[in-house]
Structure 1
Amino acid sequence: GPVGRMAERNALRNPRRTGATGAALMIGLALVACLSVVGSSMVASATDQLDKTVGTDFIVQSDSGQVITPQAVQAIKNTRGLERVTEYKTLDANLTTPDGKVSKDETINAADPTYAKDLRTKTVAGDLADAYRPDSMSVFEGFAKDHGIELGSTVSVAFKDGRTAKLTVRAITSDDVVIDKGAMYASIATAARYVPADRMPLDQLVFATAKEGQQDAAYTSLKSALHDYPQYTVRDQTDYKQALKDQIGQLLNLIYGLLALAIIVAVLGVVNTLALSVVERTREIGLMRAIGLSRRQLRRMIRLESVVIALFGALLGLGLGMGWGATAQQLLALEGLKVLDIPWPTIIGVFIGSAFVGLFAALVPAFRAGRMNVLNAIATE
């Protein structure tokens, strides 16, 4: 109506001031939108990778980074309803490659042969299951290219807590993965031949797979079996996805808290702009009141003007932020995070929230304008 048209024209009266006021909100919301897109894409990409590659039902690990004791591993193996249990260790080693170069402080991921079923890692050459044969291993694609390694090449592996082994490369894994990217695999049995039992590291993770149709019962039994080991957490794939989402969410919430300060400053900028606009238009406001504009209509006009500025900044900010987020996701795609996921509920919620920010920012200026004395306002020079 007429009040809305006046609010629009008031916002356009001083474009530079309106633009500067909306820009502060735009920058804050652009960062919020960008981080929302990046965080949502990271979760979606990791979830997609879990669905495609993880072939086990349960993952047992310590959230504090503790290793899993042999007693806890045995309790897992004694759980009813499980088809297989896979142990997973990491060992430090120095590798001497066929080109004569020494690669220090590398990590060998030693696991049971069933790990090839638990994690379906893509290979560019060979079969990952062959890497768990005696005196065999796998290397990742980038490492193989850098050192001229092919299937059948021999790598000298000097375990830091044991002897030196000559291992044959049976598989080369793809770098186009998210989970265990850059890992080199060998079997626990192979590692045990060269590392004394008293120096063999404990398990970092344990994977368990239920018998067909017994997933729910096995999940309950597994939690019960580890009741005496509260430092370890049993997660199925749904739990693991939620834990991943929560970890990224905690980081984003911290950043959002800092960005909230920038948005508060932007709100104060809107308040300042409206207050200045009211002061500049004192006589005009008095004249409009004299010809019939009610206090309620006056306050509505100022509120709508504030909402126009806020939504103007929000629309530009969210559009710019989604563009930044999509660009950042394309860069992350080089690391295997290939799913672009735009959190539309968050974007729409922020846009609607911007309208309420505009209403909130207009409270004080609208209240002051509504209390103006009409005669004094008209007499103002």
Structure 2
Amino acid sequence: VGAAGAAALTGCATAEKTSSAASLLGLGIVLTLIATVIAGPLLVRPVIRILGGVFPAVFGSVGRMSQRNALRNPRRTGATAAALMVGLALVGGLSVASASMTKSFDRQIDRTLGADFVVQNSNFMPFSPEITGKVEETEGAGLVVRQRFTPIELALPDGRSVESTAAGYDPRLDDVAKVTYAQGGSRDALAAGRIGMDVDFAKKHKVRVGDSLPATFPGGRETKLTVGALTDQDSPEGFGVEGGLFLGFGTVEKYVPGGQDSALYVNAAPGTDADTLRERLDRTLDPYPQVQVRDQADYKELIRQQIAVMLYLVYALLGLAIVIAVLGVVNTLALSVVERTREIGLLRAIGLGRRQLRRMIRLESVVIAVFGALLGLALGMVWGVAVQQVLALQGMKELAFPWTTIVAVVIGSVVVGLAAALLPALRASRMNVLAAIAHE
């Protein structure tokens, strides 16, 4: 089962289509999870021998007994750790995926955004031309490049007709954005009657630079647009919509007059520093609270906040998994204490103190919890790498590991082990020694 799961995840990492990669990812996650649960008892002895290897040196005979007690019933130990393992595998996988997404978005923002500031509606909806005029009149505002979106339908050489959204820009786009071109440049794409698109989209539909494509704008306005440039933005959707279509602002105004701007890219004028310009823009836009001024750092923080919303759901699931795991460890330790009643009585009779007994049970609980946590994190990190490979097909090619989260989870598993051992350890330490020895 594990081999089949590993093969599915390997296929996911090497797939070239998102749909097939996602299918293999789901299959690989299910199979590797089942395999790890099945193999859990077989992993107990080698892993816990390593994890508990320092116990004898630090805690003496008590540490040695706690390690060996955890090894007594590998099947029970593996089943107990499985509850924590599943929850932490999910957390580990999504943490790696979210860290990779954050790093990829940060890199994309650094690579593409060249303006000092972007003026945009908080909900990304278009805004009134009045706001554009106010921004252009702001003292210290130098270059202002408008962005305006319009629906468009293109008839392509392969016989298909694609309905998408095109972005219109002012001519000096290169001064506020870092666009990578496979062919041509901004001057070619933004000229009157021209259009630019993503190179992969062009290859898919057999479009070449110089082709004349019939285009239909809202209201049934028809024209022919000449392909002036092909971009390579390291993303299958170019500027964020299908085809990565973009054209000159004049072309948009000609066929879709009276529209509203979606964003303004603003550079400070010579002699004006960015902080001063931001203060002035904030004052200018004070009567329009829905419109915000953002720089690169603001965009990165916005992405992190959106990803954090997803992680909050994961952490809620983690909380539920921890509760289940604690109950499982408590149950296992309680059964173990009952089964070892006579043994505990004999140990107490030959000099094992109450505090030493409680420590022995706590260490046993901790090593079980850490075993489950490490197994879950290892599995989750493999899943996270596989998820990142799927995201890479959508342009998110950066892989990152959230080491702070991983270390925090391991420390948290120690706390979980200590918490789960409280009641069983207390019950064991309160046993009547003679009654425990006489127990059958």
Same fold (TM over 0.5): yes
- Provide the residue aligned with 2:189 in structure 1: 131
**What is the Cα deviation at residue 121 of structure 1?**
2.4
Deviations 1:183-230 (A, max 9, x none): 200111112122233xx3x11222111235611111111111100100
Q: Does 1:184 align with 2:184?
A: no
Aligned partner of residue 161 in structure 1, secondary structure = helix
Cα 1:335–1:66 shift into 2, 3 Å: closer
CA contact (8 A) 2:69 2:364 kept: yes
Q: What's the CA shift for 1:358?
A: 0.3
CA–CA separation in structure 1 for the residues paired with 2:257 and 2:238: 29
Cα distance in 2 for residues equivalent to 1:3 and 1:372: 18
Aligned pair count? 377
Q: How many Å apart are 1:349 and its aligned residue?
A: 0.8
Task: Note if 1:309 corresponds to 2:368.
Answer: yes
Quote the residue 2:209 is aligned against: 151
Name the structure 1 match of 2:322.
Answer: 263
Higher mean displacement: 74-83 or 117-126 = 117-126
Counterpart mapping for 1:220-299 below 5 A: 220-299=279-358
Preserved CA contact (<8 Å) 1:162 1:196: no
Contact kept in structure 2, 1:142 and 1:175, CA below 8 Å? no
Comparing both structures, which one devotes a greater share of its residues to helix?
A: 2
CA 1:179/1:211 → structure 2, altered by over 3 Å: closer, same or farther?
farther
| Paired-residue identity, % | 50
Structure 2, unpaired ranges of 5+: 1-59
Mapped to 2, the partners of 1:100 and 1:317 lie a distance apart of 50
> 334, 349, 354: which is aligned to 2:393?
334
Deviation at 1:89, TM superposition (A): 1.3
Gaps of 5+ in 1: none
Q: CA deviation at 1:350?
A: 0.7
Query: Matched residue of 2:219: which SS?
Result: coil
State the alpha-carbon separation in 2 of the partners of residues 165 and 283 from structure 1: 92
Residue identity opposite 2:389 in structure 1 = Q
Q: Deviations over 1:270-315 (max 9, x none)?
A: 1110011011111111111111111100000000000000111111
Indicate whether 1:4 and 2:49 are aligned: no
Given that 1:98 and 1:154 are in contact with CA atoms closer than 8 Å, whether structure 2 keeps it comes out as: no
Matches of 1:243 and 1:154, distance apart in 2: 39
1:170 to 228, 236, 241: 228
Measured on the aligned residues, the alpha-carbon RMSD in Å equals 1.6
Q: TM-score, normalised by structure 1?
A: 0.95
- What TM-score, normalized to structure 2? 0.83
2:32 maps to what in 1? none
Q: How far, CA to CA, are the matches of 1:21 and 1:255 in structure 2?
A: 21
Q: How far apart are 1:100 and its partner, in Å? A: 4.4
Q: Which amino acid aligns with 2:247?
A: A
Please name the residue that 1:368 is paired with. Answer: 427
Q: 1:329 to 1:240 in 2, by over 3 A?
A: same
- Whether 1:205 aligns to 2:283 is no
How far off its partner does 1:99 sit? 4.3
User: Which residue matches 1:87?
Assistant: 146
Q: Is the deviation greater in 78-87 or in 245-254? A: 78-87
Q: Residue deviations 1:106-157, cap 9 Å, x none? A: 2111121223332222222111332111111112223312332111111111
Q: Which has the higher contact order (CA 8 A, sep 6+)?
A: 1
CA contact (8 A) 2:157 2:206 kept: yes
Q: Which amino acid in structure 2 is aligned with residue 313 of structure 1? A: G
Preserved contact between residue 108 and residue 186 of structure 1 (Cα < 8 Å): yes
Q: How does 1:19-34 map to 2 (within 5 A)?
A: 19-34=78-93
**Match for residue 177 of structure 2?**
119
Distance across 1 between alignment mates of 2:158 and 2:391: 32
Name the counterpart of 1:48: 107
Per the TM alignment, residue 101 of structure 1 is displaced from its structure 2 partner at its CA by 3.4
On the 8 A contact 1:108/1:185 being kept in 2, the answer is yes
